[in-house]
Amino acid sequence: MTEPASHLPSGLPGLDPRFSRLVTVEGRAADEGAHRTWHYLDTADELARIGVPAVGTILAVHGNPTWSYLWREALAASVRLAEEGGPAWRFVAVDQLEMGWSERTAVHRPLPQRTSDLAAFADALGIDGPVVTLGHDWGGAVSLSWAADNPDRLAGVVLLNTAVHHPEGVPIPAPLRLAGARAVLATATTRTAAFLETTLALASPPLEPSVKDAYRAPYRTAARRRGIGGFVADIPAHAGHESHAELQRIATGVAGLAVPALILWGPKDPVFSDRYLDDLVRRLPHADVHRFEGAGHLVAEDRPYADAMAAWLVRHRERLAAPHAREHAGVPDPAEAAVAPEGYAPLWAALEARRDDDTTAVVDMARRSGGVPRRVSWRLLDDRVRSIAAGLHRIGVRRGDRVSLLVPPGATLTAAIYACLRIGAVVVVADAGLGVRGLTRAVRGAWPAYIIGERAGLAAARVLGWPGVRISAPALTGAARRALGVSHTLAELAELGAGAVLPAAPAPDERAAVLFTSGSTGPAKGVVYTHGQLSALRDTLAAHFQVTRESGLVTGFAPFALLGPAFGTLSVTPDMDVSAPRTLTARAVAAAARESDAEIVFLSPAAILNVVATAGELTAPDREALARVRTFLSTGAPVGRALLESTNGIMPHAVAHTPYGMTECLLVTDITLDGIRAAETAPDRGVCVGTPIGENRVLVSALDADGAATGSPSGEPGVLGEVVVSAPHLKHGYDRLWLTDREAARDLPQDGGRWHRTGDIGHLDAQGRLWVEGRLPHVIVTADGPVAPVGPEQEAERLGAVRRAAVVGIGPHGLRQAVAVVETLPSTTRPGLASPDLAADVRRAVSLPLVAVLAVPQLPTDIRHNSKIDRTRLSGWAEGVLGGGRPVAP
């Protein structure tokens, strides 16, 4: 029998008291014969009131030391979703026995008992399918027990930070070890509210006092906190624990679930780290996963998880409504082999085709090789790739396992990457230019099973606690191996795998790589590519730039430094620090070109600056080698006409190209120096980046008056909006960022293709050329409508006294005013207001009204490219300076 609960305290913020219920349930297992009073929250009556029949039930289980109050936002969101015409799910959030406002008993309740408790509760309420389980903390394991035991009623599972398995030999997290210590347990969890208060303090941002009080309400006395202590004592830290076998049973059952799944995660959790997320993803490989960067254990308080869950319910509406139909199961039939697209050849096909070729394949010019170029033949490279691949497989690397590569571009990295790809391991590549913090965030987020690194990378992995079995690229002394925690070296793996048979090659639709974005527009994101997409990128490049076996390639840009073997052409890495592109000199490029007799040179925009600056050091033989180059490419950030013309002075016979793309779609459009010259005769604003390459497509989604890209994507000329792109090599998705992936995707039902929202703004002209005018977050929404920054910046940069300019907004959204921030010639030494004469000149040159003109020694740029202006940072700085703050450099 159920009845409304009348004993809840008033004023629980965010919780509708009408949802509160009590029910008497007959106990099971050790509680058999007893009748227990459960408290729970239920939206059934509210759905009935608005006249919407429920399609199923969401069964939510809290963890320790929270209660059903944790789910208040999801309860409200589920009702809103039903009111707005979305799927109507009855939401039932239970207080586990001994917790919240449910009954306190004298019965010992380890995990097996709690799984029996939940089953009894669900049966007492008559909860039938379809059911979506939802759990957090130890409520995750309890909810998953019901899911695994009720496949006939299960429709889906949703999880917040939780775990179903702890690896042998790894200590449980320190906070749980401390709280669970025999001498501390009772004091920390029951006699005092220390465990509860510590948990509430984990919220980021901090909880409001009234919300903290709501969580404290059921646990005011030691008697009411006994359940908190019981949960901590029940953590199965070793195989002999009474709950260990039950947790193992649940973990095995989870791996067999073939229903849609959603995992929402707070990576700052000191208890349930990304180690446990990785385990869950392995058991539920089809799950939609989103890591909320900066969120922690109380992810339900830290981030809008309820909105994410509502979006997921809508996205999988049909699958969840028909959970037992094979076509909606969410897991592909293993008997259905992937069909390779027409013309598909794996990335290593050209390497295998030249396995008997003793000519040079890769040359590494880096100083670390002792000043002598390191040359590797096609035969040796193929043998090295095969032996390392087989060695990796022998030590346990399997399809889908992630391997983080902390090796600079060169022959070693090339061999390691192709070895991983060949056996289906997923390579994780994060640029050293992200810095220690950025790299740590990237590696921890990807949670690789293995790390292959040079000494510096392995040392960072050791000190910073990066996950993964460590494999050293160079040979090490015994002491160094122990200090770095190295299990194997690449040479040992090659010896182990010599002559061994390789496993079957991965299919085109299997994941191949996770490449991290630059971090210039927020935390670096992992971008997932399949084998088919990487091969499509190779084919697009080869066709557009006419790359042949005889081309020869100099690559001073890390993302493309590994494509030489894929093209079947000789590739050379010049002497430079790839984490600092401006270390590349003109002589180093010339030496690399001479070594390879290269026809194609690929450099980053930041690298070009120093190459041009050091051109005076070139010798006659240097210039002769560079004169043989026929194609020069630079991408990653806009490259202006003046810089391209300067490179033409160094490579006089090369056609200069500056393709436009992003990590999510590495090549979209292309324009040559002659194309830029022709575009400059047009009246368009922005940077012309040319027309789409090959089968690529570009459309624009128009901005509305609020600066949002709400227009239907089209190719209409002259429309300012967000650039959306489609290509055969467009990313598979973002890694463990389901919400970001969903927001970045653009569905065009009439087209049927896959489209990506780039975040760039611009327009198409009548010739189909794309003009980029900035980033969507940098749009200045004034009282007269949205304004893109690049056009006004170009107007300011036409002044002789201005080297570079950035136009940013200050003030409230919708009423923002424009400020120009300029680098001057000669450079100013003190940041602040520009001189009256310069300010007047800039105002006359710029068609946009400016509230102020500021001068700085140097505009701040992003980490990786050293060339993209950080307008968000500048905007905050300008607002502070104009508000009376101290004018220190931004």
The CATH code of the domain that includes 851 is 3.30.300.30
Does the N-terminal peptide bond of residue 826 adopt cis geometry, omega within 30 degrees of 0?
yes
Question: Among residues 828, 809, 832, 804, which one has the least CA distance to residue 819?
Answer: 809
Q: What DSSP string describes 210-276?
A: HHHHHHHGGGSSTGGGHHHHHHHHT---STTSTTHHHHHHHHHHHHT--S-EEEEE-TT-SSS-HHH
Domain check: are 405 and 505 in the same one? yes
CA–CA dist 852, 855 (Å, integer): 10
Domain check: are 81 and 186 in the same one? no
What percent of the chain clears pLDDT 70, i.e. is strictly above it? 93
Q: Tell me: pLDDT of 194 over 50.
A: yes
Geometric angle at alpha carbon 99, from 98 and 104, rounded to 5°: 30
CATH of the domain at 28: 3.40.50.1820
Task: Confirm whether 312 is domain-assigned.
Answer: yes
Task: Confirm whether 674 is domain-assigned.
Answer: yes
Q: What is the pTM of this model?
A: 0.90
CATH of the domain at 366: 3.40.50.980
With contact defined as beta carbons under 8 Å apart, do 423 and 452 qualify?
Answer: no
Summarize pLDDT for 63-106 with one digit per residue, the tens: 999 999 999 999 999 999 999 999 999 999 999 999 999 999 98
Confidence class for position 752, pLDDT limits 50, 70, 90: low
The per-residue pLDDT for 340 is: 63
Q: What average pLDDT does the structure give for the chain?
A: 90
Q: Which residues, at least 6 apart from 849, have a Cβ–Cβ distance to it below 8 Å? A: 817, 818
Q: Tell me: pLDDT of 715 over 90.
A: yes
Summarize pLDDT for 475-530 with one digit per residue, the tens: 999 999 999 999 999 999 999 999 999 999 999 999 999 998 876 666 789 999 99
Return the structure tokens found at 312. Answer: 């997921």
Q: What's the mean pLDDT in 234-243?
A: 86
Domain check: are 364 and 464 in the same one? yes
Domain check: are 161 and 305 in the same one? yes
Domain check: are 222 and 258 in the same one? no
Domain check: are 221 and 362 in the same one? no
For the chain, what is the domain count?
A: 5
Domain check: are 714 and 805 in the same one? no
Task: Confirm whether 585 is domain-assigned.
Answer: no
End position of a domain, from candidates 204, 233, 262? 233
With contact defined as beta carbons under 8 Å apart, do 790 and 808 qualify?
Answer: no
CA–CA dist 765, 759 (Å, integer): 19
With contact defined as beta carbons under 8 Å apart, do 300 and 135 qualify?
Answer: no
Domain extent at residue 858: 779-882
Q: How many CB atoms lie within 10 A of CB 10?
A: 5
* β-bridge pairing 850-856 and 832-833: antiparallel
Domain check: are 371 and 290 in the same one? no
Q: Which residues, at least 6 apart from 663, have a Cβ–Cβ distance to it below 8 Å? A: 515, 516, 517, 518, 525, 527, 559, 731
Domain check: are 292 and 192 in the same one? no
CATH of the domain at 724: 2.30.38.10
CA–CA dist 438, 388 (Å, integer): 29
Task: Confirm whether 554 is domain-assigned.
Answer: no
Question: Among residues 255, 226, 283, which one has the least CA distance to residue 107?
Answer: 226
Summarize pLDDT for 590-613 with one digit per residue, the tens: 999 998 889 999 988 888 888 999
Task: Confirm whether 890 is domain-assigned.
Answer: no
Task: Confirm whether 852 is domain-assigned.
Answer: yes
Task: Confirm whether 448 is domain-assigned.
Answer: yes
Domain check: are 99 and 246 in the same one? yes
Which range, of 339-343, 377-381, 686-690, 837-841, averages the lowest pLDDT?
A: 339-343
Q: What's the mean pLDDT in 275-290?
A: 95
CA–CA dist 453, 461 (Å, integer): 9
Domain check: are 153 and 179 in the same one? no
Domain check: are 842 and 859 in the same one? yes
Task: Confirm whether 404 is domain-assigned.
Answer: yes
End position of a domain, from candidates 724, 756, 776? 776
The per-residue pLDDT for 187 is: 80
Q: Burial, 499: exposed, middle or buried (Cβ in 10 Å; 0-12, 13-18, 19+)?
A: exposed
The per-residue pLDDT for 353 is: 95
Please state, in angstroms and as integers, the Cα–Cα distance from residue 695 to each residue in 544, 669, 814, 850, following that order.
Answer: 11, 10, 39, 42
End position of a domain, from candidates 509, 525, 546? 546
